Structure 1
Amino acid sequence: MLQLIIQNLKSIYKLPAIYIWGSSMGGYGAILHGLACKAHAVYAHIPQTKLAGTHYTDGRNKRFFSPLVSKRKWAFSTNSVFTEPHVDLCKYLAKFRPHKSPVFFLTQNTFDYPFYVREHLLPFVARCDELGFAYSVTMPLIKGHKLFLNIAQAVAQNFDKEHKKIRQWRIQGSIDT
């Protein structure tokens, strides 16, 4: 439904670009919907990139995640169902052409849940690199699974500051230094 709402708003208001922000599970949503809705850029802080198969999802949070990855199908939008690629955003990336996809601004607190950086951020960054997606990674020396930048700060430091590079990526599929 969110993808449909975004597409309708884009059409109604003739928005030239979409930028999406999210943190943790919201970072997962920002990446997922940013790709599906052809956003120009996505800011994802401490993005959870997998819904199963990690210490975070299969440990103390298993009761929240196991219903999401059970055998039943969940509707994500009118055109898709919750399938295996949605469980791991590294796999989901392969469905998209890099230069027609968002620039990813990823931030991750250095000291987070055990294995979080290794199981969520690093595999996603490696996959972006492997497939040729544009991304930026910032790892502040912060402890905890909490915000680094609020929405206004993230927009100013990433989307506003880098708008020319984001636009160049969307048009040319490259970014000049």
Structure 2
Amino acid sequence: MIEKKKIEIRIKDKDIVFYFSSAKDKNKPILFIFHGHGYNITPAQFISENYNVVCPMDSYGYKGLGSWYLGESGDLFWLEAMPEILRYVREFVGNGRLYMWGSSMGGYASILYGHLLRAHAVYTNIPQTILLGSKYSDNGMLKFFQPIFGDRDSVYNDLRKVINYRTPCKYFLCFNQLEGSNYFMEQGLNFISHLHSLRQPMYIEVRPQSNHAKNHGISESINLFRKFELSK
């Protein structure tokens, strides 16, 4: 039976928690699963003999509901935590390919750390790609975004400024076209156009829906990776 372990590391003065379950064999792929906004003490339940599964838990930010896996008041301690988590995991499971999965806030994190940690592929559902200065921020999310950066300007506010060169990573992006706050244009099309300008490999799915909700589950996303032969 596969066991999911709770692990805690100390970064600066912060306790960073993640859950980890290992694959049956060494050097299998590593899959990071990032939860969405609204902290829940229960990690994703996905486990697999074929994937080493890592679930970082973001209990920081406004009322502990999430800091977009960045940090608080301009101290972006998650940027130090994530490479340390990956280093810890690789010590036990080897050098399998790295994959990222996330939705909404977790989608932002999957894109960011997929780029920074050189993931092989990323699946991201309805992600935020720009935080402050977006209509999504103006229509109720400002109180969650502002405490992340404080009074500091940050390149991490806009993922187009972070991803400024082509990498081998393949992006699987899913959006709901009719969502409010001009979401598909600001968070989707603008980012997609940016990736296209870099000739970044990507798979785009747009659904004629108005809700802000997950479309593909984790197993379905893995099947998409397999369909495009990314796990070989």
TM-score bracket for the superposition, by shorter chain length: 0.7 to 0.9
Higher helix fraction (1 or 2): 1
Superposition deviation, residue 88 in structure 1? 0.2
The answer to whether residue 167 in structure 2 is matched with residue 99 in structure 1 is yes
Quick one: which amino acid aligns to residue 206 of structure 2? M
Quick one: which amino acid aligns to residue 159 of structure 1? F
The answer to whether residue 206 in structure 2 is matched with residue 136 in structure 1 is no
Quick one: which amino acid aligns to residue 185 of structure 2? R
Quick one: which amino acid aligns to residue 160 of structure 2? C
Runs of 4+ in structure 1 off by over 2 angstroms are: none
Corresponding residue number in structure 1 for 2:213: 146
CA contact (8 A) 1:27 1:47 kept: yes
Superposition deviation, residue 85 in structure 1? 1.6
> After the TM superposition, which residues 36-115 of structure 1 pair with which residues of structure 2 at under 5 Å, given as runs?
36-71=116-151, 84-94=154-164, 96=165, 98-100=166-168, 102-115=169-182
Name the TM-score, length of structure 1 as normaliser.
Answer: 0.79
CA RMSD in angstroms comes to: 1.7
Unaligned 5+ segments in structure 2 are: 1-80
Provide the aligned length of Structure 1 versus Structure 2: 152
C-alpha separation in 2, matches of 1:38 and 1:142: 32
C-alpha separation in 2, matches of 1:109 and 1:10: 35
C-alpha separation in 1, matches of 2:206 and 2:89: 33
Higher strand fraction (1 or 2): 2
Q: Name the SS for the 1:112 alignment partner.
A: coil
CA contact (8 A) 1:31 1:42 kept: yes
C-alpha separation in 2, matches of 1:123 and 1:70: 25
What percentage of residue pairs aligned between the two structures are identical? 30
Superposition deviation, residue 69 in structure 1? 2.5
Name the TM-score, length of structure 2 as normaliser.
Answer: 0.61
Superposition deviation, residue 11 in structure 1? 4.1
C-alpha separation in 2, matches of 1:131 and 1:143: 29
Superposition deviation, residue 162 in structure 1? 1.1
Quick one: which amino acid aligns to residue 109 of structure 2? G
Superposition deviation, residue 31 in structure 1? 0.3
C-alpha separation in 1, matches of 2:154 and 2:204: 26
The answer to whether residue 225 in structure 2 is matched with residue 159 in structure 1 is yes
